[in-house]
């Protein structure tokens, strides 16, 4: 690993952040009735802007990167840099497929758990600039989205097994759920994952870098935000929203199903502009009005799920039955929830026919029109 991190100290030009306070909060909050819509005035973005995002309805999630070539979603971050080796990378094809499938927006994994960056970062050597294929995938993705009329969004994973900077990442923790526990002197949260201040500085610098280079974006997705802690989540949300006030900020994993009801876990994913429904589509009308920390918010939802079973390409993965995919999509449409369907490119760097065929079937059955 040292071979690919030789300049990390000199490249990490980040000023240490001030210590941030933690904010006490309840574990779960419940939605309030639709009759309270006129009382919603606390969120950063106006309801009209959030409804504009809801009108996008259908998007493509694109998981691509080091895990594509490892066949492992959550690797240990130690893979040699040249493991990432697409043979016929065609980012324009990804966007073209999304367009032809009737989608209106797309979200790309700029950095996932492996830590490998799909753009040339100033803060690490573990990125595409050191690969045989040096294409700035993030840059090409954003350019092609704008060229083809698709709204681009980016994903950044807080869990990074390559750049730990002294953090205890979830893969090495024996108590992932312990991240929701507030420790005391007598009962510390043993083994709970966490991120160090140095890692948070690194993450801040990379997010600044992505947004400065590739904005405007329709949304910026942060995965596994539970390990960031309440204070840093609030800090990074405020920092992003101040610089990019029209962009939605999405913190994943705020949803929990309790019986037939959804609850929101603010210790895992607050603040956020969107409630994510990972591998879940609404089974009954979704009420976007929530009371969080004694304030009411209009919180639209996004259902994200893979077209098959895996997030990244695996050769033996197969698409879900068309009737299942269209049923989940219809549930989202009926409940005014966006449907973000993951379609992973293969090791060549293109979306294969085994995904394109069901996408076109979905388009036909749902009578989708290509947007100009």
pLDDT at residue 30 is higher than 70: no
Condensed to tens digits (0 to 9), the pLDDT of residues 280-291 reads: 988 788 999 999
- Residue 43's pLDDT is 78
Stretch 270-274: mean pLDDT: 97
> What is the DSSP pairing of strand 289-292 with strand 275-278?
unpaired
> What is the DSSP pairing of strand 248-251 with strand 255-258?
unpaired
Decide which of 91 and 180 is more confident.
Answer: 91
pTM, two decimal places? 0.89
- Residue 162's pLDDT is 98
Contact 117, 170 (CB under 8 A): no
Question: What is the C-alpha to C-alpha distance for residues 302 and 347, in angstroms, rounded to an integer?
Answer: 28
Whole-angstrom Cα Rg for the chain: 20
Stretch 230-251: mean pLDDT: 97
- Residue 251's pLDDT is 97
pLDDT at residue 195 is higher than 80: yes
- Residue 262's pLDDT is 85
Contact 340, 302 (CB under 8 A): yes
Question: What is the C-alpha to C-alpha distance for residues 120 and 113, in angstroms, rounded to an integer?
Answer: 17
Question: What is the C-alpha to C-alpha distance for residues 201 and 203, in angstroms, rounded to an integer?
Answer: 5
User: Could you tell me the two tokens for 123?
Assistant: 């803060």
pLDDT classification of 372: cutoffs 50, 70, 90: low
Contact 13, 205 (CB under 8 A): yes
Decide which of 26 and 97 is more confident.
Answer: 97
- Least confident stretch, 92-106, 107-121, 263-277: 263-277
Burial of 195 (0-12, 13-18, 19+ CB in 10 A): buried
Question: What is the C-alpha to C-alpha distance for residues 249 and 57, in angstroms, rounded to an integer?
Answer: 17
| Sheet strands (E) in 191-321 | 219-223, 248-251, 255-258, 261-264, 275-278, 289-292, 295-298, 301-306
Burial of 348 (0-12, 13-18, 19+ CB in 10 A): middle
Condensed to tens digits (0 to 9), the pLDDT of residues 138-177 reads: 999 999 999 999 999 999 999 999 999 999 999 888 788 7
Q: Which of 138, 68, 71, 134 is nearest to 345 (CA)?
A: 68
| CB-CB neighbours of 21 under 10 Å | 10
pLDDT at residue 27 is higher than 60: no
Q: What percentage of residues in the chain have a pLDDT greater than 90? A: 75
- Least confident stretch, 286-290, 338-342, 346-350: 286-290
User: Could you tell me the two tokens for 246?
Assistant: 């029209």
pLDDT at residue 240 is higher than 60: yes
Q: Output the DSSP codes for 296-358.
A: EEE--EEEEEESSS-SS--TT--PPPHHHHHHHHHHHHHTT-EEEEE----TTSS--HHHHHH
- Residue 281's pLDDT is 87
Condensed to tens digits (0 to 9), the pLDDT of residues 289-331 reads: 999 988 999 999 999 999 999 999 999 999 999 999 999 999 9
Decide which of 262 and 209 is more confident.
Answer: 209
pLDDT classification of 15: cutoffs 50, 70, 90: very low
Q: Which residues contact 94 (CB under 8 A, 6 or more apart)?
A: 60, 62, 106, 141, 144, 343, 345, 350, 351
Contact 125, 4 (CB under 8 A): yes
Stretch 51-73: mean pLDDT: 97
- Residue 50's pLDDT is 95
Q: What percentage of residues in the chain have a pLDDT greater than 70? A: 87
Stretch 196-218: mean pLDDT: 98
pLDDT at residue 25 is higher than 60: no
Question: What is the C-alpha to C-alpha distance for residues 163 and 116, in angstroms, rounded to an integer?
Answer: 9
pLDDT classification of 235: cutoffs 50, 70, 90: very high
- Residue 371's pLDDT is 67
Contact 12, 121 (CB under 8 A): no
What are the backbone dihedrals phi and psi of residue 255, each rounded to the nearest 5 degrees, phi first? -95, 140
| CB-CB neighbours of 331 under 10 Å | 18
Condensed to tens digits (0 to 9), the pLDDT of residues 103-142 reads: 999 999 999 999 999 999 999 999 999 999 999 999 999 9
């Amino acid at each position: 690993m040292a071979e690919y991190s030789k300049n990390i100290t000199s490249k990490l030009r980040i000023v240490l952040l001030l210590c941030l306070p933690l904010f006490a909060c309840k574990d779960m909050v419940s939605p309030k009735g639709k009759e309270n819509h006129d009382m919603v005035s606390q969120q950063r973005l106006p309801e009209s802007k959030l409804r504009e995002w809801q009108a996008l309805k259908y998007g493509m999630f694109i998981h691509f990167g080091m895990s594509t070539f490892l066949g492992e979603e959550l690797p240990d971050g130690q893979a040699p840099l040249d493991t990432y080796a697409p043979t016929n990378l065609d980012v324009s094809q990804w966007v073209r497929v999304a367009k032809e499938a009737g989608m209106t927006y797309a979200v790309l994994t700029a950095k996932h758990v492996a830590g490998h960056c799909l753009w040339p970062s100033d803060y690490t050597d573990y990125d595409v600039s050191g690969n045989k294929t040096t294409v700035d995938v993030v840059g090409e993705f954003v350019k092609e989205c704008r060229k083809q009329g698709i709204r681009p969004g980016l994903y950044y994973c807080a869990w990074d097994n390559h750049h730990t900077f002294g953090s205890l990442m979830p893969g090495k923790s024996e108590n992932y759920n312990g991240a929701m526990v507030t420790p005391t002197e007598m009962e510390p949260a043993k083994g709970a994952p966490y991120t160090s201040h140095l890692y948070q500085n690194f993450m801040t610098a990379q997010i600044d870098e992505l947004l400065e280079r590739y904005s405007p974006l329709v949304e910026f997705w942060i995965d596994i935000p539970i390990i960031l802690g309440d204070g840093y989540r609030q800090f990074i949300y405020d920092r992003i929203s101040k610089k990019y006030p029209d962009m939605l900020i999405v913190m994943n994993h705020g949803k929990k199903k309790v019986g037939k009801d959804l609850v929101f876990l603010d210790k895992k994913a607050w603040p956020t502009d969107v409630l994510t429904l990972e591998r879940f589509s609404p089974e009954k009308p979704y009420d976007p009005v929530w009371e969080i920390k004694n304030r009411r918010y209009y919180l639209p939802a996004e259902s994200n799920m893979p077209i098959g079973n895996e997030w990244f390409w695996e050769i033996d993965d197969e698409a879900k039955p068309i009737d299942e995919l269209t049923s989940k999509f219809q549930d989202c449409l009926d409940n005014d929830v966006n449907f973000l369907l993951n379609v992973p490119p293969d090791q060549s760097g293109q979306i294969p026919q085994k995904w394109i065929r069901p996408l076109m079937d979905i388009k036909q059955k749902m009578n989708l029109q290509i947007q100009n």
